[in-house]
Chains A and B, each alone.
Chain A
Amino acid sequence: MDARDGDHRQGNNMTDIIKTDAVIVGAGPVGLFAVFELGLLDIHAHLIDILPKPGGQCAELYPEKPIYDIPGFPTISGQGIVDNLMKQIEPFHPTFHFNEQVEGLEVLGTPEAPLFRVTTDGGQVFEAKVVIIAAGGGSFQPKRPPVPGIEEYEGKSVFYAVRKMETFRGKRVLLVGGGDSALDWTLNLQPIAERVTLMHRRDDFRAAPHSVNGMRELVAAGKMDLIIGQMTALKGDNGELSAVACKDNANQTFDVACDAMMPFFGLTMKLGPIAHWGLNLHENLLPVDTAKFETNAPGIFAVGDINTYPGKLKLILSGFHEVALAAQKAHRYVYPDKKLLFQYTTSSTNLQKKLGVA
């Protein structure tokens, strides 16, 4: 990452504070378009998203599904609109921080001259003059299987992701699921675990064929086990698993002895840390005014599906409108002494220069 307009990094170390104009929480379609509207006003932005890629729900939930209500596009796919937005915001060189969740949002400045400290679970710290929350339905988190008492085991012997492979060395590991995550981790952990067992509800896998073949070869060679079934309960003490109770498709019950279990049942959306930032919340949404789309905290804006106001519709097109207006107010905070002149991209050479077309 290099220093860009309005973006002054201190040193190159990850633990250093990134000073910037705007931090956008969430890189879904509305967060992406915020880069554009802010960019036209010379406000540089960093985007943070828990997913490994831009696009939010469009990319994660329905990349191939058609969307019919984007103005000017009779039909466009979820991934199509994300790709187009990425191209549209290219001139503004946003900086992306993927696989990171914003945990803390702290007010450093005053209501007249806001300044915020934003921290992520990856240890990155930002100082920004404005914060745009474009968090949609919240952050995508691994689904927790509705097995009684599973919370007690989480982080001790039930894991939704592999932070360190070493955690699993010499252990009996049960992986549950049939997609790429389940298969990839089965293959990766097989060499270091004492024994790896993969359980799936059917003998048909969504994962990439080469991983499925790799798994089947290991099973044929007696180097791991494949079980067709579903889990029903956890057995163990103080969060340490001893076995997972399961049933097969004929409803016959059996136990799989294991020291660690990894369930892969896809992702779900949770509000997450936003609830703890001291912002007013209404049914897990952030109330905003409809002139500036600002929350109760001056300098913190909420746009897209995460906000609420009278008449709110959770539409991408509404989010696009919201960021255009929020950017106007953000400009007052970032450039308190500059007068904002309303201009059209069609006719303003000033805007066209910023877009790299003049």
Chain B
Amino acid sequence: MTKITYVDHSGKAREVEAENGATVMETALRNAVPGIEAECGGACACATCHVYVDAGWIDKLPKQEKMEEDMLDFAFDVQPNSRLSCQIKVTSALDGLRVTTPAKQG
């Protein structure tokens, strides 16, 4: 099992077990992790599953596709480590991944 830690904007961390093949967004919803809305259900069409990926992890993630980069235009306070969690698929290589959710999704 792959473990992922979600940190909310106040600093509270929640570690959950993720199923390989699911997305980081789906894993959050299944485990009732707050801070991710995923209004469009994972179609990369809303930017309400925006997360900041912890330093050290950003280069280990699958590269961002153009659609995700475009959709990040709809998020707020976008940083170089911003990703849409619906576009990150969980694999064993991501064991220990840490992401922070923004104070408010768009």
Contacts and interface: CB of A to CB of B under 8 A. Distances in A.
Contacts of A266: 46-47, 73-74, 106
A200 interface: yes
B77 interface: yes
A4 B82 CA distance: 53
Nearest to A176: B73
Given A143-B106, A146-B104, A268-B106, A177 B73 contact: yes
A133 B69 CA distance: 35
Nearest to A178: B73
A35 B66 CA distance: 38
B50 to A, nearest CB: 11
Contacts of A3: none
A277 interface: no
Interface in A128-152: 137, 143, 145-146
26 contacts: A61-B40, A61-B46, A137-B39, A143-B74, A143-B106, A145-B76, A146-B103, A146-B106, A177-B73, A178-B73, A179-B73, A202-B69, A204-B69, A230-B77, A232-B77, A249-B80, A265-B73, A265-B74, A265-B76, A266-B46, A266-B73, A266-B74, A266-B106, A268-B46, A268-B106, A269-B39
A202 B77 CA distance: 12
B48 to A, nearest CB: 8
Interface in A93-151: 137, 143, 145-146
Interface in B60-88: 69-70, 72-74, 76-78, 80
- Top 7 nearest A-B pairs by Cβ distance? A266-B74, A61-B45, A146-B104, A62-B43, A206-B70, A61-B40, A265-B74
A65 interface: yes
A132 B45 CA distance: 27
A268 B106 CA distance: 8
A357 B40 CA distance: 38
A269 B39 CA distance: 8
B106 A62 contact: no
Contact of A200 (B43, B73, B76): B73
Interface in A164-190: 177-179
A201 interface: yes
Q: How large is the interface on A (under 10, 10 to 19, 20 to 34, 35 or more residues)?
A: 20 to 34
B106 A265 contact: yes
B39 A268 contact: yes
Contact of B76 (A61, A137, A146, A204): A146
Nearest to A247: B77
Contacts of A202: 69, 73
A230 B46 contact: no
A65 B46 CA distance: 14
Interface in B27-51: 39-40, 43, 45-48
A143 to B, nearest CB: 5
A206 B73 contact: yes
Contacts of B106: 143, 145-146, 265-266, 268
A145 B103 CA distance: 12
Given A61-B45, A143-B74, A232-B77, 11 more contacts: A61-B40, A61-B46, A62-B40, A137-B39, A201-B78, A204-B69, A230-B77, A265-B76, A265-B106, A266-B74, A269-B39
B19 to A, nearest CB: 20
Interface string B90-106: 00000000000001101
B58 to A, nearest CB: 15
A265 B45 CA distance: 12
A177 B43 CA distance: 21
Contacts of B46: 61, 266, 268
A120 B86 CA distance: 36
Contacts of B69: 202, 204
Interface string B8-26: 0000000000000000000
Contacts of B72: 201
